[in-house]
A and B are shown apart, each in its own frame.
Chain A
Amino acid sequence: MKTRIISAIAFFLLLLVAWEAASLLGWVNRILIPAPSDVLRYLYGAVLDGSLASAALVTVKRLLLGYLCGIVIGLPLGLVTARFKLFQDTIGLLALGLQTLPSVCWVPLAIIWFGQTESAMFFVVVMGTLWSVIIATETGVRTIPPIYARAARTMGSRGIHTWVHVMLPASLPFIVSGMKQGWAFAWRSLMAAEIYVTILTGFGLGHLLHYGRELNAMEQVIGVMFVIVVIGLLADKVLFSPWERFLHRRWGTQGSR
């Protein structure tokens, strides 16, 4: 374990040093590929003047709002899709089709429907989340061994109680992986939307990236990219790691798909 951490740290340090050296020695064009120290200087400044924090806040707020709505709508839809033939042949089919659509593709539609508004952002994130949550929940419920529901029935569980206390937890491994996929889609589509859509109600990380390009400020572009990576990693740790640890503990390695 320790040697693995050391080798990881060593790798990244080496990468940074080589990169910095290449810039200093003039092997690469410093305008196109700024040195790590330039990026760091930008990040330091952006943190101090608060532009980075406020942009990150705007982006994360949009993301969480749309993502939570996507889950709140997607979970029950997935459940009824698994349960009722009618929903399976309608919503289920729709979800199956739209899930294959790269979520970036929602951006043009969102702009036409909602214009340069917060609603357009919201719409894109919800679309990114919704379909994979529906599909994952449906798959989860479908793959539950029928014996769980039968066992619950002999113990007096019926209707809603069975859904809440048996079907839902039993499909948790699938639901968590669906939520994770939904998160990845939502995150990607929001970035695309922010880069393409300039709106005045909020200035997100995507916009920062966009203006970095407009200003030819490559250290800003790379600095913001770095922040986006960090937020992605943090979200994974905060949102999904606890669930995955729970799955791993309860189901063993088999369940933590």
Chain B
Amino acid sequence: MGIQQELENEAPSKLSVRNISKIFHSKHQIVRALDGVSLEINEGEFVCLVGPSGCGKSTLLNIIAGLDQADEGSVLSDGQRISGPGRDRMVMFQEHALFPWLDVLDNVMFGLRLKPNLKTNERREVAKYYLHLVGLDNFLHANIHELSGGMKQRVALARALAPNPKVLLMDEPFGALDALTREQLYRDIQRIWAQRKKTIVFVTHNVREAVCLGDRVVLFSPHPGRIRHEYPITLPRPRDINSVSLAEKSGEILQALKGYLNDGVVTAANSRTPFNTDGAAE
């Protein structure tokens, strides 16, 4: 297989999350991390999962990744049941999870080396392409500990993109970064998403971030983890996190979020949107 062919975009996947439940048994209690969660994600859609911590966002992402098993329900990718991790779904974690014993280029090559039908120099070219895409041309042989937080996440993004997945799963990837670095990354991730055409599931507890990036914002509530509401975001792209229209939209979602955090029941007084308390399960 040639390098041109390798760099061509894989068609993004359609994901169907069907009635997923997951229970954790810890020492003293039973945690219902997910309770009957269903979600349809279209090909190439950018979906943001939002909610306070502990509402099962990471659990759902890990189940879609195939790293964890659901107790009930199933996840389909293009109609195929997901039973384990696969190169078609790459994950980006909050802690960058880069390998300190490898330099930047070798980190990006890690997944590529496991991909058959590529020559070593082709793999290197592919890795360089993605490092260029995230703006790290000059850091191919830097050590991980020498990079700033934002650069580490760029490497992690390049590493996730390199095997040319159909789906990108991102778990609060910018959570530990400062505001300025994050803003730059919002611009870059939108550009890369437009260019590489992935289906992206993006977990965050930052509503503004979700509105800035997502085609759709899916609001979760904890104990048990359920989908409370979905908000389509139709603002034009590329979006600026500081724009007024974006602030308005996130204000609306934030209010709903605060509402059910306060008393679990959303009243008309603290929400301007009609609220679907049964969850969004169809």
Contacts and interface: CB of A to CB of B under 8 A. Distances in A.
Interface of A: 145, 147-148, 150-157, 161, 165-166, 169-170, 172, 249-252, 254-255
Contact of B143 (A145, A152, A252): A252
A145 B97 CA distance: 9
B100 A166 contact: no
Given A147-B93, A151-B93, A155-B87, A250 B110 contact: no
Contacts of B111: 155-156
Interface of B: 65-67, 85-87, 89-91, 93, 95, 97, 99-103, 110-111, 114-115, 143-146, 159, 163
Nearest to A151: B97
Contacts of A165: 110
B97 A166 contact: no
Given A152-B110, A172-B101, A250-B100, 20 more contacts: A147-B93, A150-B67, A150-B97, A151-B91, A151-B93, A154-B85, A154-B89, A155-B90, A155-B163, A156-B85, A156-B114, A156-B115, A156-B163, A157-B110, A169-B101, A169-B102, A250-B102, A250-B103, A252-B145, A255-B145
Nearest to B116: A156
Nearest to A150: B67
Q: Which of B65, B90, B100 has most chain A Cβ within 10 Å?
A: B100
Nearest to B98: A151
Contacts of A145: 95, 97
A169 B106 CA distance: 13
A154 to B, nearest CB: 5
Contacts of B102: 169, 250
B114 A161 contact: yes
A153 B110 contact: no
B94 to A, nearest CB: 9
Given A169-B101, A250-B100, A254-B145, A153 B67 contact: yes
A152 B114 CA distance: 10
A148 B97 contact: yes
Nearest to A252: B145
Given A250-B143, A254-B145, A154 B99 contact: no
A161 B113 CA distance: 11
Interface of B (DSSP majority class): loop
Contacts of B163: 155-156
Contacts, number: 68
Interface of A (DSSP majority class): helix
B145 A251 contact: yes
Contacts of B86: 156
Contacts of B85: 153-154, 156
B91 to A, nearest CB: 5
B89 A148 contact: no
Nearest to B62: A150
B97 A147 contact: yes
B96 to A, nearest CB: 9
B99 A148 contact: yes
Contacts of A254: 145
Contacts of B87: 155-156
Contact of B101 (A152, A155, A170): A170
30 contacts: A147-B97, A148-B97, A150-B93, A151-B91, A151-B97, A151-B99, A152-B110, A153-B67, A153-B85, A154-B89, A154-B90, A155-B159, A156-B85, A156-B87, A156-B114, A156-B115, A157-B110, A165-B110, A166-B99, A169-B101, A169-B102, A170-B101, A250-B101, A250-B102, A251-B101, A251-B145, A252-B145, A252-B146, A254-B145, A255-B145
